[in-house]
A and B are shown apart, each in its own frame.
Chain A
Amino acid sequence: MLKSKTFLKKTRAGGVMKIVREHYLRDDIGCGAAGCTACCGAHEGPALEPQPQDPASSLCPQPHYLLPDTNVLLHQIVSAWRPGTWASVASSLRLPGSLETYVEQEQGENANDRNDRAIRVAAKWYNEHLKKMSADNQLQVIFITNDRKNKEKAVEEGIPAFTCEEYVKSLTANPELIDRLACLSEEGNEIESGKIIFSEHLPLSKLQQGIKSGTYLQGTFRASRENYLEATVWIHGDSEENKEIILQGLKHLNRAIHEDIVAVELLPKSQWVAPSSVVLHDEGQNEDDVEKEEEREQMLKTAVSENMLKPTGRVVGIIKRNWRPYCGMLSKSDIKESRRHLFTPADKRIPRIRIETRQASTLEGRRIIVAIDGWPRNSRYPNGHFVKNLGDVGEKETETEVLLLEHDVPHQPFSQAVLSFLPKMPWGITEKDMKNREDLRHLCICSVDPPGCTDIDDALHCRELENGNLEVGVHIADVSHFIRPGNALDQESARRGTTVYLCEKRIDMVPELLSSNLCSLKCDVDRLAFSCIWEMNHSAEILKTKFTKSVINSKASLTYAEAQLRIDSANMRDDITTSLRGLNKLAKILKKKRIEKGALTLSSPEVRFHMDSETHDPIDLQTKELRETNSMVEEFMLLANISVAKKIHEEFSEHALLRKHPAPPPSNYEILVKAARSRNLEIKTDTAKSLAESLDQAESPTFPYLNTLLRILATRCMMQAVYFCSGMDNDFHHYGLASPIYTHFTSPIRRYADVIVHRLLAVAIGADCTYPELTDKHKLADICKNLNYRHKMAQYAQRASVAFHTQLFFKSKGRVSEEAYILFVRKNAIVVLIPKYGLEGTVFFEEKDKPNPRLIYDDEIPSLKIEDTVFHVFDKVKVKIMLDSSNLQHQKIRMSLVEPQIPGISISPDDISNMNLNGPEKKKMKLEK
């Protein structure tokens, strides 16, 4: 049947538009119930189960389907998605434009009412349809709605209808489900004190008006980690002034949560404040002590000079919430039998969340996930509901899960759809694979990697040609041969973006079959590769560059140490060793050239854990050792990346995926220059070359570690390198490598950027065909954005993992005293680096329940004077390291000063009395009482 309507509409300009629409109502949409004879398989897609499992509901004992209305579906999706508990959801599939259930909007009926009516009609249709299907089975469709009027009308029309709460409560088999319901019904949730704390959020239309007229500013809300009463809003747009607005006090924060997009109103200048440097954590157990908050807010307003004041504002409305499920722990309510508890998220920027649960005692001491449902005006905390129990605090699996979740690392096992695109085993190279591919199996190729590496993505070879020149080849795993554009496997790896290496675990970007087997360039098997082959003379000048897809057969997979041994030992003369020696010689020349051009050699302390093979507990910490062979492999990888970057940019000037490293603004170097000056050294920072040279010269005969420290500091001054699309940017320079153009080509197994680069290069040399997304620079820019985000998150997750394992290590080790160097000096603390463990930590000089020592901080030098001792950057101190578990959620490494001794501040090596380390024990005692 055809519905057609014609109507006239007045346009904004005053003209009259005739709008003609037609809509086809279909008669071929099935009901979706498997085994329904009436619609004989006209239905596609997911089907309803023929016999829904008995959910054991006391309200409706017969088997039934559920038909939730849109609001219920939207808000309760978390609880709905648990197999076996909710019978299959007959979603509104049947609704769009089906002939029997089409509902025309009546005169005076608004769109919402029409939709409600449409869902009721559908429910009715379903019930009649199912009855027709077979008279003897008592299948029923139950309509779930939270709208009271809608429910009443449904009951009137003879449709069994319940509210969500009624239904879930009636499920006798699954009492815990009730906790997972998002609490939306206002009646059941009134808060004792009806006092309104927050001012109302303005509606979106008003906000948009205000933003247009300039009275409000739109920005991203960023809560402060240190102070729960303070936040900043980063204003969107390019205007220079008012880039960052400070918000202070609960009322001004007005229920905004970290990462929300908000609208703020600037306060008059008289009310501007300066960011307070006080650390404040929300610790009150009592829920609604708003008066106390006000006291605290007063505390923030310390007297400051005029020029310290920053633009200050208040949140008037929320443009977009950016809530996600949060990890954290339950703080059980003091009141026994209470079902309402506070949940403390692991991320300190997220406020505590009030949840309702009956299983508080089982959830205590566990890491759990909670989702926020809303934040009413009269509530001090947002309301949420329990989602998932991750496991015990301190368990390695739980903590790993938490850090993966908190850093948004996709770590679920690969779905069936993704795995279906893997090649079938046993896999072999076929005739078809050999098309456009060169056979390089005869070459003496070997790979050099860290020990225990299973995803080998690069291999090298070097041989002398007849004309006396050298042929050098870098062979990279041909991942793009296995991951075809657009399929589920490709989409999943694009989403993951990178492989994440945690201390004891690797979160793969591609399924293991590819990462550790088919793509991994293991020795003595034929593997597909993408080769970059140069002809070089003996002074490492490139004479010819060739890119080709190839088949290789690696002759050896070596570790860095093994390769070094081969190069060094005088009596090894086999092919592999000569090849390695040739490579090493060229690499040295290449490195020298690169450094002459101004490439930086920076340093950051990298730690490696020695794991216990059984328990996977760390037994020893060790900083990574660097050998000549490390730099040999690195040199050729850099060379390959640069060659490929040039080639793809030549071919695709508009949509090459490149990597750039912007030069840092001069102000970034201030710390480094000042620190060096305190040691009578000069660091020039005007160009990368002068920086590299002055870093090389900065050495002190009495203090050999100084140079490394300077390089560590220099690393901290750098900007982040990012991927970008060449058509969207015109600055390609890579500052750190001093290369005009750079990309990532050499690790396609663990980085998605390399896969794209492989595809681009393959098209450029005519070995593969192109596809539309590859030549769409906006799509490419989106990919870059995701990759940059994933890389950053992966880095944070890695650091968090190292931090957690360091804690485990010191937990088993107990307290130790070690030598350390001061990296930074702060107002009330020093940041130290312990070279033995590559560990960095902060030594605080102010403690809560002790008189504050006399601290004098000098910003210029910089130095910190405590009582009579002065601390400079790079001073050598001795610190004691121990695990502080006074806060269960955030266990941390705590350091305190041992040497130089300052009475009242430093502690003697075996003194522990003044440290509050035994928090958990104390708490336990309390519980037992």
Chain B
Amino acid sequence: MAGLELLSDQGYRVDGRRAGELRKIQARMGVFAQADGSAYIEQGNTKALAVVYGPHEIRGSRARALPDRALVNCQYSSATFSTGERKRRPHGDRKSCEMGLQLRQTFEAAILTQLHPRSQIDIYVQVLQADGGTYAACVNAATLAVLDAGIPMRDFVCACSAGFVDGTALADLSHVEEAAGGPQLALALLPASGQIALLEMDARLHEDHLEQVLEAAAQAAQDVHILLDRVVRQHIWPSPDYPLLQSGPWGCFSPNIPRVSWHRQGWYAPHFMLRTPQLQ
């Protein structure tokens, strides 16, 4: 990993965070009116949108219906403008298939599917801007969307990525840190029980360090949970502690609305959290 210093001697990362700190998370639920549930999330510069339909009758071939539980159908796509290079990404390419499968595994573990036998739940996720941790952003967005749709779940599913640089585990990698080529781990957690819904890692990492990285990712996922929980509470009971959340039904969602104008409409980012000693 030549050139870039991912972790300075003072312990700061390239973008000024410390090793265990998350990027700024902003999220909002119920962005679409016609869908059963929807949510939008920004984790730093990574932006994802999730839409949930269901549970409803099996579409297409009836043979796919499961007798004892609901079928969870996940589709992942990423916008042409989401990455540095503008590139058309057709549906059904390898990467989105794999991501869809991972999301499906994650949510099959979290949604109480046995409550809706012979039915189907569709989760569509689109990444609007990718700056590292796309899987985590997708899971977090989808959790909010599923909650918005009122589908019963065991628990939130909170995901976060973690990496390993110079003997230190870094939480919530940005694109620059991912591109440096170190090991990278994605973790989806059921925060209340601490159960792992999905754990994925490519690249080699020594066994001795795995625990450390896993712990960093789990801690980060717990932090994500606090934030998501606040978003949901805001959405349901807009409290006087926070400026009002406008949960207006938006007919069409345009990702190009600059953030300033979101503020103008009274939309408020739940919180920007730095993991400072006071909070721990």
How far does the Cβ of A772 sit from chain B's closest Cβ, in whole Å? 4
In this assembly, does B120 line the interface, its C-beta being within 8 Å of a C-beta of chain A?
no
Chain A 378-394, CB within 8 Å of chain B: the 1/0 string?
00000000000000000
- Closest Cβ neighbor of B272 among chain A residues: A2
The one of B12, B85, B175, B209 that contacts A17, using a Cβ cutoff of 8 Å:
B85
Which of under 10, 10 to 19, 20 to 34, or 35 or more describes the interface residues of A? 20 to 34
Question: Is the beta-carbon distance between A25 and B209 smaller than 8 angstroms?
Answer: no
How far does the Cβ of B47 sit from chain A's closest Cβ, in whole Å? 10
Complex-state Cα separation, A772 to B83, whole angstroms: 34
In the complex, which residues of chain B have a beta carbon less than 8 angstroms from the beta carbon of A771?
Answer: 206, 208
In this assembly, does B177 line the interface, its C-beta being within 8 Å of a C-beta of chain A?
no
The one of A2, A20, A45 that contacts B24, using a Cβ cutoff of 8 Å:
A2
- Closest Cβ neighbor of B131 among chain A residues: A20
Given known A-B contacts A4-B45, A28-B276, A96-B10, A22 and B15 have beta carbons under 8 A apart: yes
Complex-state Cα separation, A22 to B23, whole angstroms: 10
Question: Is the beta-carbon distance between B129 and A24 smaller than 8 angstroms?
Answer: no
In this assembly, does A149 line the interface, its C-beta being within 8 Å of a C-beta of chain B?
no
Query: Which B residues from 233 to 280 make CB contacts under 8 A with A?
Result: 272, 274, 276
Query: Which B residues from 88 to 133 make CB contacts under 8 A with A?
Result: 129, 131
Most buried by B among A22, A23, A24, A45: A24
Complex-state Cα separation, A4 to B26, whole angstroms: 15
Complex-state Cα separation, A4 to B16, whole angstroms: 12
Question: Is the beta-carbon distance between A24 and B206 smaller than 8 angstroms?
Answer: no
Given known A-B contacts A22-B23, A93-B10, A772-B206, A16 and B16 have beta carbons under 8 A apart: no
Chain B 24-61, CB within 8 Å of chain A: the 1/0 string?
10000000000000000000110000000000000000
Given known A-B contacts A16-B86, A772-B209, A21 and B15 have beta carbons under 8 A apart: yes
- Closest Cβ neighbor of B278 among chain A residues: A28
Question: Is the beta-carbon distance between B10 and A22 smaller than 8 angstroms?
Answer: no
Query: Which B residues from 1 to 31 make CB contacts under 8 A with A?
Result: 8, 10-12, 15-17, 23-24
In this assembly, does A18 line the interface, its C-beta being within 8 Å of a C-beta of chain B?
yes
In this assembly, does A97 line the interface, its C-beta being within 8 Å of a C-beta of chain B?
yes
- Closest Cβ neighbor of A4 among chain B residues: B45
- Closest Cβ neighbor of A6 among chain B residues: B45
In this assembly, does A214 line the interface, its C-beta being within 8 Å of a C-beta of chain B?
no
How far does the Cβ of A599 sit from chain B's closest Cβ, in whole Å? 40
In the complex, which residues of chain A have a beta carbon less than 8 angstroms from the beta carbon of B174?
Answer: 22
How far does the Cβ of A94 sit from chain B's closest Cβ, in whole Å? 10
In this assembly, does B84 line the interface, its C-beta being within 8 Å of a C-beta of chain A?
yes
The one of A17, A20, A28 that contacts B45, using a Cβ cutoff of 8 Å:
A20
Complex-state Cα separation, A532 to B216, whole angstroms: 42
In the complex, which residues of chain B have a beta carbon less than 8 angstroms from the beta carbon of A25?
Answer: 16
How far does the Cβ of A459 sit from chain B's closest Cβ, in whole Å? 33
Complex-state Cα separation, A16 to B83, whole angstroms: 11
Question: Is the beta-carbon distance between A24 and B16 smaller than 8 angstroms?
Answer: yes
- Closest Cβ neighbor of B82 among chain A residues: A18
Given known A-B contacts A28-B274, A28-B276, A15 and B206 have beta carbons under 8 A apart: no
In the complex, which residues of chain A have a beta carbon less than 8 angstroms from the beta carbon of B175?
Answer: 20
Query: Which A residues from 424 to 460 make CB contacts under 8 A with B?
Result: none
- Closest Cβ neighbor of B276 among chain A residues: A28
How far does the Cβ of B84 sit from chain A's closest Cβ, in whole Å? 5
Question: Is the beta-carbon distance between B16 and A97 smaller than 8 angstroms?
Answer: yes
Question: Is the beta-carbon distance between A22 and B84 smaller than 8 angstroms?
Answer: no
Given known A-B contacts A2-B272, A4-B45, A772-B209, A18 and B15 have beta carbons under 8 A apart: no
In this assembly, does A26 line the interface, its C-beta being within 8 Å of a C-beta of chain B?
yes
Complex-state Cα separation, A93 to B83, whole angstroms: 34
In the complex, which residues of chain B have a beta carbon less than 8 angstroms from the beta carbon of A20?
Answer: 45, 84, 129, 131, 175
Question: Is the beta-carbon distance between A772 and B208 smaller than 8 angstroms?
Answer: yes
- Closest Cβ neighbor of B206 among chain A residues: A772
In the complex, which residues of chain A have a beta carbon less than 8 angstroms from the beta carbon of B272?
Answer: 2
- Closest Cβ neighbor of B205 among chain A residues: A772
In this assembly, does A19 line the interface, its C-beta being within 8 Å of a C-beta of chain B?
yes
In the complex, which residues of chain B have a beta carbon less than 8 angstroms from the beta carbon of A45?
Answer: 10
In the complex, which residues of chain B have a beta carbon less than 8 angstroms from the beta carbon of A24?
Answer: 15-17, 24, 274
How far does the Cβ of B67 sit from chain A's closest Cβ, in whole Å? 47
- Closest Cβ neighbor of A93 among chain B residues: B10
In the complex, which residues of chain A have a beta carbon less than 8 angstroms from the beta carbon of B129?
Answer: 20
Query: Which A residues from 80 to 114 make CB contacts under 8 A with B?
Result: 93, 96-97
How far does the Cβ of A574 sit from chain B's closest Cβ, in whole Å? 48
In the complex, which residues of chain B have a beta carbon less than 8 angstroms from the beta carbon of A775?
Answer: 206
How far does the Cβ of B4 sit from chain A's closest Cβ, in whole Å? 13
Complex-state Cα separation, A772 to B15, whole angstroms: 28
Question: Is the beta-carbon distance between A15 and B85 smaller than 8 angstroms?
Answer: yes
How far does the Cβ of A262 sit from chain B's closest Cβ, in whole Å? 23
Complex-state Cα separation, A18 to B131, whole angstroms: 11
In the complex, which residues of chain B have a beta carbon less than 8 angstroms from the beta carbon of A19?
Answer: 84
Complex-state Cα separation, A826 to B276, whole angstroms: 75
How far does the Cβ of B176 sit from chain A's closest Cβ, in whole Å? 8
Complex-state Cα separation, A769 to B207, whole angstroms: 11
Q: Which residues of A contact B (CB under 8 A)?
A: 2, 4, 15-26, 28, 44-45, 93, 96-97, 769, 771-772, 775
In order of increasing CB-CB distance, the 3 nearest A-B pairs are A772-B206, A24-B16, A97-B16
Q: Which residues of B contact A (CB under 8 A)?
A: 8, 10-12, 15-17, 23-24, 44-45, 81, 83-86, 129, 131, 174-176, 206, 208-209, 272, 274, 276
Known: A17-B84, A20-B175, A22-B44. 13 other contacts (CB 8 A): A15-B85, A16-B86, A18-B81, A20-B45, A26-B16, A26-B274, A45-B10, A93-B10, A96-B12, A97-B12, A97-B16, A771-B206, A772-B206
Sample (24) of A-B pairs whose CB atoms are under 8 Å apart: A2-B272, A4-B45, A16-B86, A17-B84, A17-B85, A18-B81, A18-B83, A18-B84, A18-B85, A19-B84, A20-B84, A20-B131, A22-B15, A22-B45, A23-B16, A24-B15, A24-B24, A26-B16, A26-B274, A44-B11, A93-B10, A96-B10, A769-B208, A771-B206
